[in-house]
A and B are shown apart, each in its own frame.
Chain A
């Protein structure tokens, strides 16, 4: 379990992370979304022991991460800007990883390389950006990590590759209870892959939830009555948002769908439709409720 307790990281006078706390359980695929400068990369670098926090604790299974080989050997980090040795091929990089990760599995590396259709002997400089991402991901996954950290890795992969990578991660999660932490700009990216989601803004986690819960906790109801009505009609329901145009009202409701439907039907509406919300819409309304303008946070 990755636990961050009130971690603060400053660069000079700029505070990148401000007393950030979060817990990532094992076997979870954790998505972290936020705009540029929100602190996603900083967070990952704190968790992987690259940065030392100014204050706060970062532990994996209650053991501190920083400069702790016992803990660090269990994870691998795939950064947004990839590092390759000059003029290296994938094979050369595999050797580097072999030297630096005791758990590096050369067979897996070869299998994955073949599956992804990459040539391990070619100079990586000749790879496209997406292929470089794939190469880096393959190398990282071949270290058989218990924890794998992706910094905006998926943003550069095409859908086919993304599925391949997802499946490898899923396989690891199933078999070894591996944990993955993925950051991204885009909710859409994370929606399919992750089971936990957190929103990072200005160095702090504003919102954290299970994805499935997110999707089911809020829903939209379109309702119309042939009589006059207003918001007061729906007092028994947890309405987060109420928009009325003419006789049709759109409600964003939090709660149990079945119960709400039943309640509404008892009011004899002429129109009653339940519409699912996209994850983005869920976020927007949740942020709204928290007092943030979501549009300011995500590009």
Chain B
């Protein structure tokens, strides 16, 4: 029975047939991984030699980022499976080959599985050799290489390549020419995600109360090969860390690959040998394929039409009609072109015209369903008594990312059952819904605060919504939430273990750890209110309030994970943690002192040679012991521009006169920063009151 599904000799034969493309890709991947690593090593080494082992340049050159380990694999995970499948399974496209393999004693399933295993083995060899080559070179180079990258990279790339293979096999099992193989491969890999991603985007655009990552499967990040491409071409904003270290993505990708392979296997089993050389197994399927190929473009029409809330107006139609018509014409063109190219028969092309109705119908149904789905969202507006409980999921503005923070992860488990919260939520939701229905903006009367909530009804229904609250509603919700001690704990607890901590402008892991430890110990001494304000600080932009009395001179970005959920959270360093703040300023100054001095001296009105130069004056009237009189503004910023060259030069001269004084963050001070050749330098400089006033005057002059 074992023989019926897998044959070792066939697998060896498959490995042998793949030798040529396999070795070519192997060489490319090994060289393509070794060379960047070697260059990185040389770069680091020369930075050490040139500017010293502890220098900023050396520190920055020392770090190995996960996305920089094996960039060569990015194109390879698409090309290699593609080439391998076309090579090994090309017999499916020619009668001669197809007949030969089908006359062998091995069953069709056997051939399929054995050859598939051969392909997987070659892919594994390529991925492993690439990752291990780069890792080895980095390991012996002395650069900072986190060994945990290795399994993540291996599994991420391997899973992606397996899914690409699976899609290609699926396509090859239902088509019989190379052209149709490629076209259907593209459809299978990208079309479902294309549709879901655009649909979600459409829904969120129309009704922003919809949560964009409702249901993990919809989230495009889980499909690794697709998300890599979408990220590059559709400008998605997920960070490299998330892209390469998402266990849920690896699992999802592998499961999807297995499903596709199972389907391909089944289809391969039923495949008639006569299919070789023709684009589709039957006339009916040819129609179906042709319609599928037209859909990516054609579906844009209903998406466009339903994209906004305001498609009743004639101006909408006027401005969008040309685009719609153009898309329609191109779609029709593609529709007929596909038929002509795949069957090489003008007669078939003409005969296929009536089936175009199907495409139109699908678009219409799609558009209507989208509308229906969106409108049913608007129907969800429960009263307070209908609600069982509320959970709050902290919401990051970037809807497509999973940039949930640690507090957010903890908040997910907090259920609010009290009437006050339920009332608030119910009221805000119904307000939002009525605004959407009437076409009024959700963002009015100043900024609105966003809360992503999970609403569980007493009848068991559950939905997630993003609530847009004005300031009053927001403070109501905040107060009711803070009544729960569990919630308070969720927003004030620091993560126990972190995968990595970064701080603006610092890169030395040892210093960062020291800084973070200091922060943690100071944090425990804070009051609950202070801890809350640190939590809220991160969202001051979202909350629309500029009135924060505290200035953060820098913030920690902490990445970690609870189980398979990754989190990212920022913790500001404010003067509430004086020790940390002072330590940070010292670290930064120590690092950049000489560089900044040189830059300030050389500045002399030569603003163009620097990407940006800035001066920020910090003079917190609440905290400073001796505020400078007559200064009404607490802080201001001065940026380099054509007008301000001279002023900034004069500022620098003032600062240089006091350069070596020890900075005291409780007194007025200046933060200077340069961005030169993509390197950033910051420096905190002490200011005497006179100098502070002088700089302030310069700024005033600039504004006149």
Cα separation A153 to B4 with both chains bound (whole Å): 31
Whether, in the assembled complex, B57 has its beta carbon less than 8 Å from a beta carbon of chain A, the answer is no
Whether B106 contacts A100 by the Cβ 8 Å rule is yes
Contact, CB under 8 Å: B106 / A69:
yes
Given known A-B contacts A69-B107, A95-B16, A79 and B100 have beta carbons under 8 A apart: yes
Decide if B13 touches A100 in the complex (CB within 8 Å).
yes
Chain A residues numbered 78-112 whose CB sits less than 8 Å from any CB in chain B: 79, 81-83, 85, 95-96, 98-102
A273 at interface, CB cutoff 8 A: no
Asked if B108 lies at the interface with its beta carbon under 8 angstroms from chain A, I say yes
Which chain B residues in 3-21 approach chain A with CB under 8 Å?
3-4, 9-10, 12-13, 16-17
Contact of B4 among A69, A95, A101 (CB under 8 A): A69
- Give B84-105 interface residues, CB cut-off 8 Å to A: 91, 94-100, 102-105
Residue of A nearest to B108 (CB): A67
CA distance A48 to B97 in the complex (A): 14
For residue A154, CB closer than 8 A to chain B, the reply is no
Contact indicator per residue, chain A 56-89, by CB within 8 Å of chain B (1) or not (0) = 0000000000010110110011010111010000
Chain B 365-416 interface residues, beta-carbon cutoff 8 Å to A: none
**Which of B4, B17, B105, B108 neighbours the largest number of chain A CB atoms within 10 Å of its CB?**
B105
Q: Does B273 have its Cβ within 8 Å of any Cβ on chain A?
A: yes
Q: Are A48 and B13 interface neighbours, CB within 8 A?
A: no
Q: How far is the CA of A50 from the CA of B13 in the complex (A)?
A: 21
CA distance A38 to B96 in the complex (A): 20
Given A52-B272, A95-B16, A45 contacting B99 (CB threshold 8 A) = yes
A49 is an interface residue with CB less than 8 A from chain B: yes
A81 to B94 Cα, complex, angstroms: 11
> Which of chain A's residues have a CB closer than 8 A to the CB of B664?
none
CA A76 to CA B103, docked complex, whole Å: 7
- Whole-angstrom distance between the Cβ of B285 and the nearest chain A Cβ: 13
- For residue A51, CB closer than 8 A to chain B, the reply is yes
Complex formed: what's the CA distance from A226 to B105 in Å? 68
> Which has the most chain A C-beta neighbours within 10 Å: B4, B13, B91, B98?
B13
Q: Which residues of A contact B108 (CB under 8 A)?
A: 67
B107, closest chain A residue (CB): A67
Is there an interface contact between A50 and B105, defined as CB atoms closer than 8 Å?
no
A117 to chain B, nearest CB (A): 25
Closest residue on chain A to residue B109 by CB atoms: A67
Chain A residues closer than 8 Å to B13, beta-carbon distance = 95-96, 99-100
Q: How far is the CB of A68 from chain B (nearest CB, A)?
A: 8
Number of interface residues of B (CB under 8 A): 27
Residues of chain A contacted by B660 (CB below 8 angstroms): none
B274 at the interface (CB under 8 A from A): yes
Contacts of A79 in B (CB 8 A): 96, 99-100
Closest B residue to A84 by beta carbon equals: B96
* Inter-chain contact A99/B10, CB cutoff 8 Å: yes
Residues in B neighbouring A45, C-beta threshold 8 A: 99, 103, 273
Query: Roughly how many angstroms separate A125 CA and B695 CA in the complex, as a whole number?
Result: 85
- Report the minimal beta-carbon distance from A107 to chain B, rounded to whole angstroms: 19
Range for the number of chain A residues in contact with chain B:
20 to 34
Q: How far is the CA of A49 from the CA of B108 in the complex (A)?
A: 11
| Distance to closest chain B CB from A104 (angstroms) | 10
CA distance A77 to B101 in the complex (A): 10
Bound Cα distance from A82 to B17, whole angstroms: 18
Q: Which residue of B lies closest to A151 (CB)?
A: B99
By beta carbon, the residue of chain B nearest A50 is B102
CB distance from A133 to the nearest CB of B (A): 14
Interchain nearest-CB distance for A184 vs B (Å): 19
Q: Is the CB of B16 within 8 A of A83?
A: no
Residues of B near A76 (CB, < 8 A) are 103
Residues 97-139 of chain A: 1 if any B CB is under 8 Å from the residue's CB, otherwise 0? 0111110000000000000000000000000000000000000
- Return chain B residues, CB-CB under 8 Å to A77: 99-100, 103
Q: Is the CB of B107 within 8 A of A82?
A: no
Residues of B within 8 A of A49 (CB): 102-103
Q: Given contacts A45-B273, A69-B3, are A100 and B104 in contact (CB under 8 A)?
A: yes
Q: Which of B17, B98, B105 contacts A101 (CB 8 A)?
A: B105
Of the residues A72, A81, A82, A102, contact of B103 by C-beta under 8 Å: A72
In whole Å, how far is A148's beta carbon from the nearest beta carbon of chain B? 12
A99 vs B103: C-alpha distance when bound (angstroms) = 14
Query: Quick one: CB contact mask for A194-220 with B, threshold 8 Å, 1 for yes?
Result: 000000000000000000000000000
- A51 and B16 within 8 A (CB): no
* Chain B 103-134 interface mask (CB, 8 Å, partner A; 1/0): 11111101000000000000000000000000
Q: How far is the CB of B132 from chain A (nearest CB, A)?
A: 30
Q: From A87, which residue of chain B is reached at the shortest CB distance?
A: B20
Given known pairs A79-B100, A83-B96, the reply for A50 and B273 (CB within 8 Å) is yes
Whether B100 and A73, one on each chain, are in contact in the complex, defined by CB atoms closer than 8 angstroms, is no
- Tell me the smallest distance from the CB of A150 to a CB of chain B, in Å: 13
CA distance A96 to B104 in the complex (A): 11
Q: Does the CB pair A85–B273 fall under 8 Å? A: no
Q: Decide: B99 and A99 in contact? CB cutoff 8 A.
A: no
Q: Judging by beta carbons under 8 Å apart, are B272 and A51 in contact?
A: yes
Is there an interface contact between A100 and B9, defined as CB atoms closer than 8 Å? yes
Choose from B12, B97, B105 the contact partner of A83 (Cβ within 8 Å): B97
Chain A 140-192 residues near chain B, CB threshold 8 A: none
Shortest beta-carbon distance, A146 to chain B, in Å?
12
| Residues in chain A near residue B16, CB distance under 8 A | 95, 99
Verify B100–A99 contact, CB threshold 8 A: no
A67 contacts across to B, CB distance below 8 A = 107-108
Given known A-B contacts A45-B99, A79-B96, A51 and B273 have beta carbons under 8 A apart? yes
For residue B95, which residue of chain A has the nearest CB? A81
| A12 CB to nearest B CB, Å | 8
**Which B residues lie within 8 Å of A50 (CB)?**
98-99, 102-103, 273
- Assembly CA distance A69 to B304 (angstroms): 55
- What is the CB-to-nearest-CB distance from B18 to chain A, in angstroms, rounded to a whole number? 12
Q: How far, in angstroms, from A81 to B99 measured CA to CA in the complex? A: 10
Residue of A nearest to B97 (CB): A83
Alpha-carbon distance between A52 and B13 when the two chains are bound, in angstroms: 26
A11 and chain B: residue at smallest CB distance: B274
Instruction: Kindly provide the distance from the CB of A3 to the nearest chain B CB, expressed in whole angstroms.
Output: 19
Q: Mark B15-57, 1 if CB is under 8 A from A, else 0.
A: 0110000000000000000000000000000000000000000
Residues of B within 8 A of A70 (CB): 105
A48 nearest CB across to chain B (Å): 5
CB-CB under 8 A from A100, the residues of chain B are 9-10, 13, 104-106
Are A73 and B105 touching (Cβ within 8 A)? Answer: yes
Give chain B residues whose Cβ lies under 8 Å from the Cβ of A98.
Answer: 9
Closest to B17 in A: A85
> B99 — nearest CB in chain A belongs to which residue?
A50
Given contacts A79-B99, A81-B95, contact A72 B273 (CB under 8 A): no
Smallest distance from the beta carbon of A136 to chain B beta carbons, Å? Answer: 10
Q: Which residues of A contact B103 (CB under 8 A)?
A: 45, 48-50, 72, 76-77
Please indicate the chain A residues that have their CB under 8 angstroms from the CB of B10 in the complex: 99-100
A36-59 interface (Cβ within 8 A of B): 45, 48-52
Q: How far is the CA of A99 from the CA of B12 in the complex (A)?
A: 8
Residues of B within 8 A of A73 (CB): 105
Shortest C-beta distance, A147 to chain B (Å), equals 11
Chain B CB within 10 Å, residue with most, of A45, A67, A77: A67
In the complex formed, the residue of A with least CB distance to B96 is A83
Interface contact B99-A83, CB-CB below 8 Å: yes
Q: Complex Cα distance A141/B96, Å?
A: 19
Contacts A50-B273, A72-B105 known; list 17 others, CB within 8 Å.
A49-B103, A50-B98, A51-B273, A67-B107, A69-B107, A70-B105, A72-B104, A76-B103, A77-B100, A77-B103, A79-B100, A83-B94, A85-B17, A95-B16, A100-B9, A100-B10, A100-B13
What are 17 pairs between A and B in contact, CB < 8 Å? A45-B103, A49-B102, A49-B103, A50-B273, A52-B272, A69-B106, A69-B107, A69-B110, A72-B103, A72-B105, A76-B103, A77-B100, A79-B100, A81-B96, A99-B12, A100-B9, A100-B13
The 4 closest A-B pairs by CB, nearest first: A73-B105, A99-B13, A72-B105, A83-B96
Report which A residues bind B (CB closer than 8 A): 11, 45, 48-52, 67, 69-70, 72-73, 76-77, 79, 81-83, 85, 95-96, 98-102
